Structure 1
Amino acid sequence: MRTTLFLVSCVAVLACLGAPDVAHGLVSQPSSGAWPRRLQPAEPESVSMSRAGLRGATLALEEAIAGGDIKGAVLLVARRGRIVLHEALGVRDGFNASWPDMPSPPMPRDGIFDLESMTKPFTVFLAMRMQESGRFPGFKIDNPVVSYFPEFADASNPDKRLVTIRDLMRYVSGEDMDASGVLGASDRWHTMLTAPLLYTPSRKVLYSDLGFRLLGHVLEKAGGSSLQSLMKAYIFDPLEMSSTSYRPKLYMPAKSDRFVGTAWSSVRGRYLRGEVQDETDYDVEENTGTSQHGHLTGCDGLFSTALDLAKFAQMLLNRGVHVRGLDALCNPMLLVCPGERVTSRSSVERMTTLQTGDLGLPTPAVTFAQNLFYSGKGLGWEMVDPGAWPGGDHTSTVAYSKTGGAGTLLVIDPDPARDLMIVLLTNHGLPGYDHLGVDADQMWYWDEFDAMIEHIRAEEVSDAVSLSMIDVP
């Protein structure tokens, strides 16, 4: 009897405490039936994974290093909140064209990598957080871009008045892949804002770095601060992502021995370590705003570690909840778990499910570049594709991924039977652009990107991890 009264009293107390959007509050069970989880190291067998199967993933990376396709990598795999593999391989720095045999220390497990386009989901997440927070009056993702930058539309581009923030987030804005003439322009943002559309908005999917650069610019305007400050307040600090940042040489100088090198830049005349490799993004960072508060881009520019990315992925798998305490404290009888609801379940669903309808490729992608350029999109994410997809052939139909052009990949499979993430970070460096163009069918191709996906063994690693789940048919 006393036990029953105690539990009833606890439920009453918890009900009084239980505002789910309050930091360190009590979060109810997600609709999936899975408890919010805090990442913890564990043995593979504890979550029904094969140690030998996971070894196949690291063997694929060892082969890539031995064959000279990459110099080093960090691989993290987690299932049901348990980190079953977190391994560093090879050396910290990638290929250096001016000094091919440059000495390099071993790759650290907490190496800080240039994420390139893996920045995009963070930009989207920030937009959703700004909309939900209520701290930015009038900000909605369905607002037109022209309401923030009137110069975005002019008489020669009437369709640009139709472009919304959401259109930028799901790659249907009509913006070209990039704008010409940005490097060295007297007003770089004016050049990007006034670039003509390639097609009528909401008529097709086309991957656009330009669209995400503009998305970040809108968020800085609406938020009254830099992307660095906004993301720190709304993403990095709440998720305890202490090694994630733009411009790490400026914002995380004490961690410089962990910066992973990518390549020699002939434009900058130096080897790049802790600097975004994409020359356009670097040019914008250095030449807009001030040295301490320069405008950043929503396209590329973030640096992070495998563990920090895993925290972001686990929050998505938790349907918007970040658990700071041990998940052993979750009490099934009370139906609550200590944690912080960082964003709503509905926002996570919108970001990570198909948001482009039938606007994507009518058939499975034949190449990885086709998947990148034209596949069905979530908000910032590439959805699983039965054709060429870096997440491999053995995920569920609800999996999603994001590739970083310098050789990084994040695959998340929220299917309750899988509840899986794969974080693959390498120092491959950006592929070249000699074989980027449009074929006879008016489809973009990018042979070097396809080769990069093969070099980092994206499919082999993903398939080995997926097949190591011994309880999934």
Structure 2
Amino acid sequence: MAAFTPAAVLSTRVAEAHVVVPQELAPGRPESVGLCSDRLEDVFARVSRRVNDGLFPGAVALIARRGRIVGHRAFGTRVRGQDEPVTLDTLFDLLSMTKVLATATSALILVQDGVLRLNDRVADFVPGFEAHGKAAITVRDMLRYTAGLPVDSQFLDEADDDRVWQRMAEAPLEYTPGTQVLYSDLTYRLLGRVIEAASGMDLDELAKARIWGPLGMRDTTFNPSAALISRTAATGFSALRGRVVRGEVQDDQDFALGGITGCDGAFSTARDLAVFCQMILNGGKYGGVRILSRQAAAAMVSNQTPEVRAADTDQSPLSNLLCTPKGYGWELATRRFSNGGTRFGRSAYGKSGGAGTFMWIDSRRELFGVLLTNHGLPTPFDEIGWNRMLDSVGSAEFFDGIVNAVMDE
């Protein structure tokens, strides 16, 4: 693809080296793919224990290797305090996992189509964005979280959506673009606007037409329909809405904007996410359908921020999320505070959602896990709140336990 430079190709060689032959997922025994059944049972038992201890109401966990789903379990309840069991097909509010499931993948598809270029200026698609010295910021800057924008901007005092988008577009810079990484909901909200302007479709339509539909991810959607609400896990209480949120994105700003944005809003099941993970692991293809070119898929999960050192930024769980090296949308494995644990290979990558959802892929081991919970957004969403959520959900323990089950290395 002409849109990806030789430098980008060089940076993706490690990710491409262990891509498996394209395949569809199927059930399998752990030992048939080099995993220990007893150790996987321990992984699931630890998730169950956390649910039983009341740390979060419910969860679905899925583990796969070499194209075989070797474990898929449901725990707890969809709504805290109610007798409504979580089932394997329960939908969860994925929040920031939307950034890779819809936004970054859609952007790269449009690049493949020639509709968008990585070096296109955001200001050419979002009116008013050039304010405060932002005229030169590109699509690639946004994809890799180096656009210079703040982590978020909430404008819940505005009743008019157009005015909210205008204020977001005109937001001043937090730092000089390209000099550091700062994970940003605001950046990806506006990147979603770029994609919609370039494609002429909203993100839900585009993702269903070009990603979720072709992959058979039928339970993946923004704004679940009334028919899906009974299968959807509730998250937390929204003071603004005065109710426990169920079937609505928990982030109040994204809900106020209609529930379809580039940073949050997607709902899905563990099985659908497994298909997406396998597509990425296969180098952009699944079940005979190619979503991304092999080059684009590899670039997406490679380090696109070489100017940032993990050793300097991996100082706490929150600084890991916000400031460590990133791919296009994806978080990358680090040695200290990754929410995917510390035992995955250095080329591993994943994505977390603020309400307690996680998926991580170790391409060298051809291994991935999905952990979806309805913990709900930390309140307040600060460093202590993020730490407590990660400790309660135990994502690092879950993914480290998966690696501990590997027997053939």
Band of TM-score, shorter chain: over 0.9
Q: AA paired with 1:432?
A: T
Local SS of the residue matching 2:350: strand
In structure 1, C-alpha distance between the alignment counterparts of 2:275 and 2:249, rounded to whole Å: 22
Q: AA paired with 1:371?
A: N
Match status 1:310 vs 2:274 = yes
**Hey, what does 2:339 align to over in structure 1?**
390
Shift of 1:150: 3.7
Q: 2:385 aligns with which of 441, 445, 448?
A: 448
Q: 1:219 aligns with which of 183, 192, 195?
A: 195
**Hey, what does 1:143 align to over in structure 2?**
120
The 8 Å contact of residues 357 and 376 in structure 1, kept in 2 or not, is answered as: yes
Match status 1:245 vs 2:221 = yes
TM-score (norm 1): 0.80
In structure 2, C-alpha distance between the alignment counterparts of 1:279 and 1:396, rounded to whole Å: 36
Shift of 1:31: 6.2
Superposition map of 1:91-106 within 5 A? 91-94=77-80, 101=81, 103-106=82-85
Cα 1:70/1:180, change in 2 over 3 Å: closer
Shift of 1:141: 2.2
Once the two structures are superposed, residues 168-208 of structure 1 have per-residue CA deviations (whole angstroms, 9 ceiling, x without a partner) of 11110000011243542531100100010111100111111
Match status 1:43 vs 2:43 = no
Local SS of the residue matching 2:241: coil
Q: AA paired with 2:150?
A: D
In structure 2, C-alpha distance between the alignment counterparts of 1:299 and 1:351, rounded to whole Å: 17
Local SS of the residue matching 1:348: helix
In structure 2, C-alpha distance between the alignment counterparts of 1:400 and 1:33, rounded to whole Å: 13
The 8 Å contact of residues 394 and 466 in structure 1, kept in 2 or not, is answered as: yes
Cα 1:152/1:364, change in 2 over 3 Å: closer
Match status 1:229 vs 2:205 = yes
In structure 2, C-alpha distance between the alignment counterparts of 1:225 and 1:245, rounded to whole Å: 15
Shift of 1:253: 2.5
Once the two structures are superposed, residues 29-85 of structure 1 have per-residue CA deviations (whole angstroms, 9 ceiling, x without a partner) of x86473212100111111011011101111211221122111111000000000000
Name structure 1 gaps, 5 residues minimum: 1-29, 95-100, 287-295, 324-338, 437-445
Match status 1:198 vs 2:170 = no
The 8 Å contact of residues 183 and 283 in structure 1, kept in 2 or not, is answered as: no
**Hey, what does 2:378 align to over in structure 1?**
431
The 8 Å contact of residues 340 and 350 in structure 2, kept in 1 or not, is answered as: yes
Q: AA paired with 1:346?
A: Q
The 8 Å contact of residues 19 and 281 in structure 2, kept in 1 or not, is answered as: no
The 8 Å contact of residues 364 and 385 in structure 1, kept in 2 or not, is answered as: no
The 8 Å contact of residues 110 and 307 in structure 1, kept in 2 or not, is answered as: yes
Local SS of the residue matching 1:141: coil
The 8 Å contact of residues 376 and 382 in structure 1, kept in 2 or not, is answered as: yes
Local SS of the residue matching 2:128: helix
The 8 Å contact of residues 239 and 311 in structure 1, kept in 2 or not, is answered as: yes
Bigger Rg, structure 1 or 2: 1
Once the two structures are superposed, residues 394-438 of structure 1 have per-residue CA deviations (whole angstroms, 9 ceiling, x without a partner) of 1111101111000000001111xx10110000010000126x3xx
Q: AA paired with 2:332?
A: M
Match status 1:270 vs 2:243 = yes
**Hey, what does 2:57 align to over in structure 1?**
71
Cα 1:216/1:364, change in 2 over 3 Å: closer
Q: What is the count of residue pairs matched by the alignment?
A: 391
In structure 2, C-alpha distance between the alignment counterparts of 1:74 and 1:371, rounded to whole Å: 25
Shift of 1:107: 0.6
Shift of 1:256: 2.1
**Hey, what does 1:84 align to over in structure 2?**
70
Q: 2:109 aligns with which of 92, 107, 129?
A: 129
Shift of 1:280: 0.6
Local SS of the residue matching 1:277: coil
TM-score (norm 2): 0.92
Cα 1:33/1:424, change in 2 over 3 Å: closer
Superposition map of 1:403-414 within 5 A? 403-414=352-363
The 8 Å contact of residues 93 and 260 in structure 1, kept in 2 or not, is answered as: yes
Name structure 2 gaps, 5 residues minimum: 1-15
Q: AA paired with 1:366?
A: Q
Shift of 1:117: 0.5
Match status 1:401 vs 2:387 = no
**Hey, what does 1:115 align to over in structure 2?**
94
Report the aligned-residue RMSD.
1.5
Shift of 1:362: 4.0
Q: AA paired with 2:248?
A: E
Q: 2:255 aligns with which of 261, 282, 296?
A: 282
The 8 Å contact of residues 185 and 191 in structure 1, kept in 2 or not, is answered as: no
Cα 1:270/1:182, change in 2 over 3 Å: closer
In structure 1, C-alpha distance between the alignment counterparts of 2:19 and 2:339, rounded to whole Å: 29
Local SS of the residue matching 1:118: helix
The 8 Å contact of residues 72 and 426 in structure 1, kept in 2 or not, is answered as: yes
Local SS of the residue matching 1:359: coil
In structure 2, C-alpha distance between the alignment counterparts of 1:109 and 1:420, rounded to whole Å: 20
Local SS of the residue matching 2:135: helix
Q: AA paired with 2:94?
A: L
The 8 Å contact of residues 154 and 253 in structure 2, kept in 1 or not, is answered as: no
In structure 2, C-alpha distance between the alignment counterparts of 1:464 and 1:362, rounded to whole Å: 24
**Hey, what does 1:298 align to over in structure 2?**
262
Shift of 1:314: 0.2
Local SS of the residue matching 2:258: helix
**Hey, what does 2:152 align to over in structure 1?**
178
**Hey, what does 1:363 align to over in structure 2?**
312
In structure 1, C-alpha distance between the alignment counterparts of 2:126 and 2:249, rounded to whole Å: 26
